[in-house]
Homo-oligomer: A and B are copies of this chain.
Amino acid sequence: MNVRTGRKVQHYRTVGFDEAKNAVVLIEQRLLPHEFQLIHTKNFRDTAAAIRDMVVRGAGAIGATAAYGLAQGARAFKGKDLAAFQKHVDEVFTVLKEARPTAVDPVNAMLDVRAQMAAGTTVEEQQLRALHAAHHFADDDVEHCHALGKHGAPLITEGMRVLTHCNAGWLAFVDIGSATAPMYEAQAQGKKFHVFCDETRPRCQGASLTAWELAQQGISHSVIADNAAGHLMQRGEIDLVIVGSDRTLGRTGEVANKIGTYTKAVLAKRHKIPFYVAIPLSTIDWDMRSGFDIPIEERHESEVLGAWGIAQSAKGEGRGTKKGQRTYVRIGNPDSHARNPGFDVTPPDLITGIITPAGIFKPKELWKRRKELGYAEA
């Protein structure tokens, strides 16, 4: 999507590839929203480090990064010995996989690339096929988000006030995003609307990443504390909620997403405000039988007891620290501890619809219509 630097507006993907340099090109997301910087990874180990260290995050984005990382590693191999090449690719695969051991997207993406490579009979052919497959994977991600946006855009009508939580934006994918896709498509269709971005404590992806995305795109928006949405709904200032999902259970219609999503769904239900979840099909889990089985990661308490930002005066001028230096401040009582569950589970009775690249579904319909949704019978 768009990035504004001064008067210039340029189009970027979250993940790209530089063939000449054999480098994966990533937006350095840890510097956002305060600084926009591209990094070129030097080799596949460097790419793995970028995944591990959260230079890039979001299911779609790390999937594509791993796909390109595998191609990058394969292309770096010198020689014609196919057996040695396979051994090398195995190592690349393992290193990239271990960069984020609990994520399924990098593994699925790399399996896809390897399957495409297999038809090549020489090292060179396999190398060519690897890059081709990685490009294909990234393009597919964009295409899916685009289709999702087309299906979701009609939900946003002129003048609407839309709430979103966390960042399910283009920074979490290769481009366009999931929860943001209907917004970008509605904007392209010429509609005017306003987006409320939940701050999304403790990591504040809404205040930083989603607000940054919307600002770059020129979409009217306000950041709100996670505490404020209930009040705004009560006063009739929110018309629609769209969020993303980390895992959606195909059998039950339950949705796991960033902590706080469930609360917004409960509030939306009380106020009869439509609550939609936007997902690429790859995040549907067809196996799990209950949302209570979804492991909820308990993250480090320092996230809750403090916050990261750029030190400055409350009025905006830099102060005390080097301009642009990220600083952690302790907010909470020094002797106190925190609980920090990273995700929660929203049950299907609170979800108006699930927006997918294949159309909008009631959460309870997913299983019935699983063939349309790419479910492969075992």
Contact = CB atoms under 8 A, between A and B. Distances in A.
Which of A230, A301, A329, A334 has most B Cβ within 10 Å? A329
Interface in A284-323: 296, 300-302, 304-316, 319-321
Count copies of this chain in the complex: 2
Contacts of A334: 33-34
Interface in A17-49: 33-34
Interface residues of A, number: 75
Query: What does DSSP make chain A's interface, helix, strand, loop or mixed?
Result: mixed
B344 A231 contact: yes
Given A310-B329, A329-B309, A331-B207, A223 B338 contact: yes
Which among A211, A266, A316, A331 has the greatest number of chain B C-beta atoms within 10 A? A331
A322 to B, nearest CB: 9
A29 B229 CA distance: 28
Contacts of A300: 314
B335 A207 contact: no
A356 interface: no
Interface in A204-258: 204, 207-208, 211-212, 214-215, 221-232, 234, 258
Nearest to A344: B231
A330 interface: yes
A218 B330 CA distance: 21
Given A222-B337, A337-B223, A228 B260 contact: yes
A71 to B, nearest CB: 33
A162 interface: no
Interface string A130-143: 00000000000000
B329 A231 contact: no
17 contacts: A33-B332, A208-B333, A212-B336, A223-B336, A224-B304, A224-B339, A225-B260, A225-B304, A225-B340, A227-B344, A228-B340, A230-B266, A231-B345, A234-B345, A310-B329, A313-B328, A329-B329
Given A231-B259, A309-B329, A329-B329, 12 more contacts: A199-B304, A199-B331, A207-B304, A221-B336, A228-B260, A230-B260, A231-B345, A309-B331, A311-B311, A311-B320, A320-B321, A320-B327
Interface of A: 33-34, 196-197, 199-202, 204, 207-208, 211-212, 214-215, 221-232, 234, 258-260, 262-263, 266-267, 270, 296, 300-302, 304-316, 319-321, 325, 327-341, 343-345
